[in-house]
Chains A and B, each alone.
Chain A
Amino acid sequence: MATYVAHEESDFAPPAEVGEPELYHPKTFIGKYIWSQDAKVIAIQYAVTAIAIGLVALVFSWLMRLQLGFPGRVGFITPSTYLQLVSMHGMIMVIYLLTALFLGGFGNYLIPLMVGARDMVFPYVNMLSYWLYLLAVLLLVASFFVPGGASGAGWTLYPPQAILDGTPGAHLGIILLLVSLAVFVIGFTMGGLNYVVTVLQARTRGMTMMRLPLTVWGIFMATILALLAFPALFVSAIMMALDLTLGTSFFMPALVSKGQQVSHSGGNPLLFQHLFWFFGHPEVYIVALPAFGIVSDLISTHARKNIFGYRMMVWAILIIGGLSFVVWAHHMFVSGMNPYFGFFFATTTLIIAVPTAIKVYNWVLTLWRGNIHLTVPMLFAIGFIFTFVNGGLTGLFLGNVVVDMPLSDTMFVVAHFHMVMGIAPVLVVFGAIYHWYPKVTGRMLDDTLGKIHFWITFVGTYAIFYPMHYLGFMGVPRRYYAITGTNFIPDSAHSLNAAISIAAFVVGAAQMVFFYNLAASYFRGKAAGGNPWNATTLEWQTPETPPRHGNFGKELPVVYRWAYDYGVPGLKTDFIPQNVPPAEVPAEAWVKAAQPAGA
């Protein structure tokens, strides 16, 4: 049908010649699906493991809410159990679910496909990375079952209480947890080297850094942050393990515990807090940056409009990443630090709001006058913007020293970080799964079930976390097993807690709709075809869906344009894939006056 205008040979780049890829081609079922070196299979392994352990943490949150909403009605939750549930819920969700899912799951699946590579550059190391991650998860699970149970020190594991008698799991539980964290860091470093080097070295012809989809940018920068920040977690885990096993005094001061003088002396618990938060704050952005990247692509694709301010988005990711290393002590305002330090860290914290706000404005401006398709991924993306703005604004409260002092360690903090780094990234995870599931399986997820899932999750999480801000203002502390015998907390706080718990049960149960959808659509879903969303990025241009080991056909695609040629002005079709040369866009596809010279 299409007639092509005459074009010069120079309008085409030569095909990307890559040597016969040295891919390990598995012969057995086990080699293909268990000891796999294919980044896509590793991605699925990462995602399934992360979601499985995340479900455990979801159940833990149910049990916590059972206790908080209906104190005293559930016999099997003792104060110790409650502390263990709190600690493990936090630890699992932050590290073993979100970090592993965004970087190990989405990173592995999307980086090679989106940059036009056959696979990660070191497939064997990539495989090891997953198996170390699995080992870390198993060690964590094992810590639930040792005598004394899992650690109940809170996910921040502050010494001295984390390793003193009287804290649940202060002997075996925490040792297993610390070893598990160290293994996780080593495994992640292996994976992270792969992601960074693949982005730097394995891009196909024409894929300049400035043509990378923002998803890749987000995952790339988050990986760099993680590579530099996780050593701090490693250092603190090692030193705490030494304090516990060999009796060193890195973190442990001389103190009397349960009437007994401990054998440690001279250690500095604040040192741990510095090390922990030097990891802990970048960790927020390790989770948030991939979410930022993915949501940019979801919004652009489903609003059929190019992302607003692409270069600014890239720079904002970089600046957020850089600043995230100089704000850690805002978690320690109540630790008695020098007020000038507090001033410094409050200032840097508030400065982060600038690049973050730039990103939010750019998302909104991308939506503005876009051709918005309210698909399920788009709903989740818009839900993310709302939730992230909400959580970010309470961050401005907590970033100020004077406001933070009274609010520290209250439910307000719980509400803040769940909105900003719990719910917001999880909404992106869901949106991304609805978006890329057709590529992974070749079938669409059910739309109606998806919308039910979205609305219950979105409205439900607000029902959970909005009232928590109010509880925090009233002074309800976090991590408390039960609140009795206080005058300042009215009865209404208790009924509010019950309501929050009921909302939490409903939201948790709604996730089962999602899992049913994942399972049922795998067998009965509508066939998706190669590019159901009419998207431009390379993963949608693979010859097969789902892509085979090796991703692309004989030749790698050549990239001629950025990832955001949606609704190009003057063009009648509404998108051009990244690998379409300018000369191959037919002349009649252009509105006469808008046709660029040479096309």
Chain B
Amino acid sequence: MTIGLVFLSLLMAVIVWWLFRQTIDVQPWQAQVVGPALSGDAPTPPAAKMALWVFLAVATSLFVLFVSAYAMRLGLADWSPLPRPRLLMLNTALLVGASLAMQWTVHAARRADRDSVRQGLIASGLLTLGFLAGQLFVWRQLNDAGYFVASSAAASFFYLLTAVHGLHVLGGMVAWVRASTRAWRGSDPASIRLGMELCATYWHYLLAVWLGLYAVLVSNGLGLAICSSTPL
């Protein structure tokens, strides 16, 4: 739970800093026309972006808790790690590729370059699907090697963590479909750009989460981990 506490402390620090800015030198009981920082005057980011960031905080809380649970379970005596599926490296590369493709698409959308946007969407979509297929294939390999969900705690956590991450990627594909529909229907460039920016943020986030999980899976240099250094 220490990891959870660190995450929450960081988040609380952000909230306290923000609230401090709202309250410092403000006298709420004074009626005045031009209050400091009238909302509606300052250009605010689109609500969808704010919502995405709030959602990312919630998702982070979810992943942090899963990893905390793993960290607590790890200390117990019966921990026996899995072999390390080699394919994970390739999958990681695919997800990095998808994230880069998304970023490239955002730049294309900012130039309102419709063809590049479509190409970028196809590329990132294929790479992401490749990542998901790769993850399923890893499951298959582990299953064939005799590591089922219930066969050991390490296997349970392997399947659990990859499944939760995979489901979030799958959820991202819904946003990808919506963004693609806009791109192919030829909606106005501003809405395409917003959609792409949201997708890109989410993809980068999922990549960061995956890198964190990947470190958790293979961190046996630091101690016990889900996967040993034996390759599969």
Contacts and interface: CB of A to CB of B under 8 A. Distances in A.
Interface of A: 10-13, 16, 121-122, 189, 192-194, 196-197, 200-211, 224, 227-228, 231-232, 234-235, 238-239, 242, 246-250, 265-268, 271, 274-275, 278, 306, 310-311, 314-315, 318, 322, 325-326, 560-562, 564-565, 576, 581-582
B65 A275 contact: yes
Contacts of B1: 274, 278
Given A193-B51, A242-B156, 19 more contacts: A189-B55, A197-B54, A203-B39, A203-B40, A204-B39, A208-B26, A227-B54, A235-B62, A242-B160, A250-B69, A250-B153, A266-B77, A266-B153, A271-B72, A278-B65, A325-B8, A564-B29, A576-B31, A582-B31
B35 to A, nearest CB: 5
A10 B31 contact: no
A218 B153 CA distance: 41
B73 interface: yes
A204 B153 CA distance: 52
Nearest to B26: A210
Given A12-B33, A122-B51, A318-B16, A246 B149 contact: yes
B37 A208 contact: yes
A267 B70 CA distance: 11
Contacts of A581: 33
B72 A274 contact: yes
A13 B47 contact: no
A192 B58 CA distance: 10
Contacts of B44: 201
27 contacts: A121-B47, A189-B55, A193-B54, A193-B55, A193-B58, A197-B54, A201-B50, A204-B40, A206-B33, A208-B26, A208-B35, A208-B38, A211-B35, A228-B61, A242-B160, A247-B149, A247-B150, A250-B69, A266-B76, A268-B72, A271-B72, A274-B1, A274-B72, A278-B4, A314-B23, A561-B30, A582-B31
B11 interface: yes
A318 B23 CA distance: 12
From A13, A210, A582, name the one whose CB has the most chain B CB atoms within 10 angstroms: A210
Interface string B45-79: 00100110011011001100110010011001110
Query: Can you list the 8 inter-chain pairs with the closest CB atoms, starting with the nearest?
Result: A561-B31, A266-B78, A231-B62, A247-B150, A248-B156, A210-B28, A205-B40, A121-B47
B33 A560 contact: yes
Contacts of B149: 242, 246-248
A311 B160 contact: no
Contact of A249 (B69, B153, B160): B153
B69 A565 contact: no
Given A208-B39, A227-B61, A246 B23 contact: no
B62 A246 contact: no
B19 A565 contact: no
Contacts of A268: 72-73, 76
Where chain A touches its partner, the secondary structure class is helix
Nearest to A563: B28
B12 interface: yes
Nearest to A318: B19
Contacts of A238: 160
Contacts of B153: 248-250, 266-267
A16 to B, nearest CB: 6
Nearest to A208: B35
From B22, B41, B58, name the one whose CB has the most chain A CB atoms within 10 angstroms: B58
A391 to B, nearest CB: 26
Contacts of B61: 227-228, 231-232
Contact of B15 (A224, A242, A311): A224
Nearest to A272: B69
Nearest to B12: A322
A436 to B, nearest CB: 23
B47 to A, nearest CB: 4
A208 B58 contact: no
Nearest to A229: B61
Contacts of B16: 318, 322
